[in-house]
Amino acid sequence: MKLYIYEHCPFCVKARMIFGLKNIPVELNVLLNNDEETPVSMVGEKIVPILQKDDSRFMSESMDIVRYVDNLNGEPLLTGPRNSALEAWLRKVNGYVNRLLLPRIARAPFDEFATAQARQYFISKKEAAIGSFTDNLAHSAGLIKNISDDLRALDKLIEQPNAVNGDLSEDDIHLFPLLRSLTLVAGVAYPSRVADYRDNMAKQTQVNLLTSSAL
């Protein structure tokens, strides 16, 4: 199978996670961020991730891919309970975290930005959504305090370092990509259980953290 992704994309991380958790080989293909033609030819719109299955058919939507791969052998891993408090935490944080992440993603050495045109495509699209990256970076201190405070609240929700609710569930698929993205942000304070969970999930899923590019 082949998975078409952007390296920075949290939805792509969701799809990558299930392959790592189940030790299923997959060929990763990073598309340029300004390549509209390739994804449109596959699934009719510019979207990632896109899975090319063994029968050569294409599938999009990260959670559809996760569920498809998880059930391939009839022995799904993501059978644990969900936690409504964790879902509420994610909604709160996702309300502001892109103001921290997007300006830093734009400066990182991701393969989807291998050309100047691809990087500028991303910048133009995302600044239209959140405003000037320079202005958002100027407000980093307050946003970093906010996320550090919220991570202290998250610490109380983590039951085990190998599964947020004690057993692997779709909550893990939603939580780890955000924690991985936050490793791009220098100065964030991680409580011990959050850090242990983040690091352990990176190993379990075989998805790299982004600490070396932190800003």
- pLDDT in the model for residue 47: 98
* pTM, full prediction: 0.97
Residue 46 banded pLDDT, cuts 50, 70, 90: very high
**Angle formed at CA 107 by CA 192 and CA 2, multiple of 5 degrees:** 80
Domain ranges of the chain: 2-70, 84-213
- pLDDT in the model for residue 118: 98
The HSE-up count of residue 170 (CA atoms within 13 Å, CB side) is: 12
Average pLDDT over residues 8-13: 98
3-state DSSP of 105-150: HCCCCCHHHCCHHHHHHHHHHHHHHHCCHHHHHHCHHHHHHHHHHH
Place of tokens 């999930």: 201
- pLDDT in the model for residue 98: 97
Q: Which CATH class is domain 2-70?
A: alpha beta
- Counting residues of the chain whose pLDDT is more than 70, the rounded percentage is 100
- Give pLDDT tens digits for 32-45: 999 999 999 999 99
What is the architecture of the domain spanning 84-213?
A: Up-down Bundle (1.20)
- pLDDT in the model for residue 32: 98
If you ran DSSP here, which 8-state letter would residue 160 be given? B
27 forms bridges with which residues in the sheet?
2
Residue 104 banded pLDDT, cuts 50, 70, 90: very high
CB distance 82 to 169 below 8 Å: yes
Average pLDDT over residues 7-29: 98
